């Protein structure tokens, strides 16, 4: 029975036909495909018969002699029904690229590790981990015991300066009087002794002033970009805009010159995208190359440039780490997040650019189906280059202006393999 493909079957008729087919297979299970006669194919259609199970080595041509040289004939109606479309080839170029997994790493140059300057007891903690803070915002406050000691040392040093200056002034008056009376009531030796005392007093003043200045500078260290003092209290503040990563102090706890920072602030406005690239693929990349990063499969890619290609290979994974500094002002990316990246070579490959759907493989040989006329198509071997966004570069085998099959090219491949002789359908010759 021949079924006209242009005729739409009713749902009831299709169900009956399926039931009849199942019943026929149940009644004659021993009938093999080799015993079946040739199947009649209506004119103007591309048949897609069920092929017998054969070893993979026997599927498709494996040598030049097996290549389907005969054109494939197919009618315009069959083209429409099978959804076969064509495109005209054009010259163009595409850059080679690799799609690889990557992860997000913070830029440590934009992080703040805050240690309290003084020693004391925490009064209040004003932020929590994960909180967004602004530059100058108070993180926690504490009673600064060392600040009291620093004030006391400064007062003592300033008092010593005043005392030294008073002694110097007395020594100067005494020396001036000796000079006036020298050779009369005061001997020359006494005048020299008074001069020596003046010089000693001036030296004491300089030493005292140096000590006082040192104490002032030490006290000034209690106020910085990360800490402000008021009286005997200190407030630890954020030196940058960022996110609180960690805070390890609590109310009532004593703080001192601990090794670990009391607060960690991370500025995530720019982060590293670290791509894991195979050692051979990395040889085709260079600094300045274009990069796309997808935070999620359906997200818009973030464009950046390759900033750093590490010089060593990870001995465990055999990967080279490729880094790109990415703008993260929208906070889409977080440290340790897994993402996908596409890294482009700085060089492009020139050739004929066609839709990637036009490429099929017969055996291991890439090919396209070139239109000879309105109803005939020919399989042609091609050499392909990089592909990108549904397009691919053909470096050998095509010329500009030729028409190739895009959507539906697999139908022609099946026809070429299963029916190597031309199918003379409607409109075919």
Q: Which residues pair with 401 in a beta bridge?
A: none
Whole-number pLDDT of residue 38 = 38
> 145-181 vs 188-220: helix axis angle to the nearest 10?
160
Degrees (nearest 5) of the Cα angle 167, 169, 170? 65
CA distance 369 to 148: 88
CB 277 within 8 A of CB 323: no
Burial of 148 (0-12, 13-18, 19+ CB in 10 A): middle
Whole-number pLDDT of residue 79 = 82
Degrees (nearest 5) of the Cα angle 27, 30, 36? 95
Provide the token pair at 309.
């290609």
Whole-number pLDDT of residue 49 = 37
CB 323 within 8 A of CB 273: yes
Q: Which residues of the chain have pLDDT under 50?
A: 1-62, 420-429
Whole-number pLDDT of residue 65 = 54
Whole-number pLDDT of residue 394 = 95
Whole-number pLDDT of residue 419 = 57
Q: Which residue has the tokens 């009376």?
A: 181
Whole-number pLDDT of residue 257 = 66
Distances, alpha carbon 407 to alpha carbons 115, 233, 358, 361, 393, in Å: 64, 75, 7, 15, 17
Whole-number pLDDT of residue 34 = 35
CA distance 56 to 60: 9
Whole-number pLDDT of residue 30 = 40
Domains, in order of start, for the chain = 56-94+349-418 (2.40.420.20), 98-108+267-344 (2.40.30.170), 116-260 (no CATH)
């Amino acid at each position: 029975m021949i079924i006209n493909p242009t005729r739409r079957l009713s749902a009831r008729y299709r169900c009956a036909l399926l039931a009849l087919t199942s019943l026929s297979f149940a009644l004659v299970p021993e009938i093999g495909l080799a015993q079946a006669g040739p199947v009649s194919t209506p004119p103007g259609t591309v048949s897609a018969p069920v092929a017998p199970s054969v070893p993979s080595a026997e599927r498709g041509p494996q040598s030049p002699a097996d290549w389907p040289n005969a054109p494939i004939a197919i009618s315009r109606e069959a083209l429409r029904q099978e959804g076969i479309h064509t495109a005209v080839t054009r010259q163009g170029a595409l850059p080679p690229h690799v799609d690889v997994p990557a992860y997000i790493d913070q830029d440590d140059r934009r992080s703040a590790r805050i240690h309290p300057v003084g020693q004391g007891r925490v009064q209040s903690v004003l932020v929590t981990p994960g909180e967004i803070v602004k530059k100058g915002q108070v993180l926690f406050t504490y009673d600064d015991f060392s600040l009291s000691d620093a004030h006391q040392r400064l007062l003592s040093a300033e008092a010593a300066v005043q005392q030294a200056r008073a002694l110097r002034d007395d020594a100067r008056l005494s020396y001036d009087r000796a000079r006036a009376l020298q050779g009369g009531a005061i001997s020359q030796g006494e005048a020299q002794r008074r001069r020596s005392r003046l010089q000693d007093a001036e030296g004491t003043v300089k030493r005292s002033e140096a000590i006082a200045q040192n104490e002032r500078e030490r006290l000034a260290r209690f106020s910085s970009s990360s800490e402000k003092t008021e009286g005997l209290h200190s407030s630890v503040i954020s030196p940058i805009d960022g996110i609180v990563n960690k805070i390890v102090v609590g109310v009532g706890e004593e703080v001192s010159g601990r090794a670990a920072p009391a607060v960690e602030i991370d500025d995530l406005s720019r982060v590293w995208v670290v791509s894991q690239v195979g050692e051979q693929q990395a040889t085709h990349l260079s600094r300045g190359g274009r990069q796309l990063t997808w935070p999620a499969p359906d997200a818009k890619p973030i464009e950046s440039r390759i900033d750093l290609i590490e010089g060593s290979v990870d001995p465990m994974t055999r990967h080279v780490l490729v880094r790109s500094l990415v703008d993260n002002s929208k906070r889409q990316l977080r440290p340790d997040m897994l993402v996908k990246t596409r890294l482009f070579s700085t060089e492009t490959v020139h050739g004929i650019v066609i839709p990637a759907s036009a490429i099929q493989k017969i055996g291991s040989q890439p090919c396209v189906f070139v239109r000879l006329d309105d109803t005939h198509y020919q399989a042609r071997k091609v050499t392909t280059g990089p592909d990108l966004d549904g397009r691919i570069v053909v470096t050998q085998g095509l010329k500009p202006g030729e028409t190739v099959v895009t959507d539906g090219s697999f139908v022609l491949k099946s026809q070429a393999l299963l029916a190597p002789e031309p199918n003379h359908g409607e409109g075919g010759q």
